[in-house]
Structure 1
Amino acid sequence: MTDAAHVSSRQQIVVDEVFPHAPEVIWRALTTGEIMARWLMEPRGFEPVVGNRFTYQTKPAGAWDGTIHCEVLEVVEYRRFSHAWRGGDASNTGYGSKLDTVVTWTLEPVAEGTRVRLVHSGFELPKNEVAFRNMGDGWKVVVPRLEATIRQPD
């Protein structure tokens, strides 16, 4: 085996959309637990405060119980929201492998409303290949669901 076979590469998922809403409207959907539960997953213990730790629960796999551990890293009201996204287990391969990533939402006012840019970074390939592929496809579905949720009355 060559040294190149041991080299890992960090990858990120990027989804960029423009929604016909003010940044304040998008911000509320990104930082309100009850609304997040409608378009993503129900956060447990969530508050949009730097240092706050919260979790999501998804399908378990192998030695991983399915808990996604998050910590709020950055809050710039109506502009930027970032949190850690950690889960998996080192003994798992494929789905449920150890994951230590960051999700960052950036909001930018534009003539049509708000440009919403999601960057989910820190995927270590090849170890996180399954998560990178699944979440890459998943975020492309979830981000438009954010828009659909905003259009629904509370």
Structure 2
Amino acid sequence: MKKENVVVERTFNAPIDKVWRAITDKDEMKSWYFQLEDFKPKVGFKFDFTGGPDNGPQYLHLCEVTEVIEGKKLTHSWRYDNYPGNSFVTWELFDKGEQTLLRLTHTGLETFEGIGPDFAKTSFVGGWTYFMHTALKNYLEPAES
């Protein structure tokens, strides 16, 4: 089975502490990510949410924080209720002064092989590209009015 990883990077016009809050504060996350009931950047913290393709089936995601380096790195598991497989999502932040490089790496996608098209690498590429290049960008860098 071939390792299937997705890596999406973007440099935001925002300082690192602002980006860190956007990816770790549940109230901020609700503005651009999934509707999380609760979230804490602490190893062992478990969270879940429902999500899926627009006009398609919605899946219960079950996640647990596995690594935290405050202000720099967050990793959590990513699996689905009643489906085989387990993967990991890592958010890494790199301080560029007034800008921040955010690298998202989703590993272990091969464990979802054969479940269906919603679990294919292309689906994850599309989803993470949207969250990084559209949703989070629009949250961190609102258009000038």
Which TM class, normalised by the smaller chain length?
0.7 to 0.9
State the TM-score, normalized to the length of structure 2: 0.83
Structure 2 residue matching 1:10: 3-state secondary structure: coil
Equivalent in the alignment of 2:85: 99
> Residue 67 of structure 2 aligns with which residue?
74
TM alignment of 1:5-154, pairs within 5 A: 8-59=1-52, 61=57, 66-87=59-80, 89-90=82-83, 98-110=84-96, 113-124=99-110, 126-127=113-114, 130=117, 131=119, 132-144=121-133, 145-152=135-142
Letter in 1 for 2:125: G
Gaps of 5+ in 1: 1-7, 91-97
Q: Percent same amino acid at aligned positions?
A: 27
Contact 2:15 2:97 in 1 (8 A): no
Displacement of 1:111: 5.1
Contact 1:24/1:78, CA 8 A, preserved across alignment: yes
Matched position secondary structure for 1:9: coil
SS at match of 1:49: coil
1:29-51, CA deviations, whole angstroms, 9 ceiling, x for partnerless residues? 00011111221101123211110
Unaligned runs of 5+ in 2: none
Separation in 2 of the partners of 1:113 and 1:51?
30
TM-score after normalising by structure 1: 0.78
Asked whether the 8 Å contact 1:88–1:99 carries over to 2, the reply is: no
Say whether the 8 Å CA contact 1:46–1:55 is kept in structure 2. Answer: no
Larger Cα Rg: Structure 1 or Structure 2? 1
Q: What count of residue pairs does the alignment treat as equivalent?
A: 135
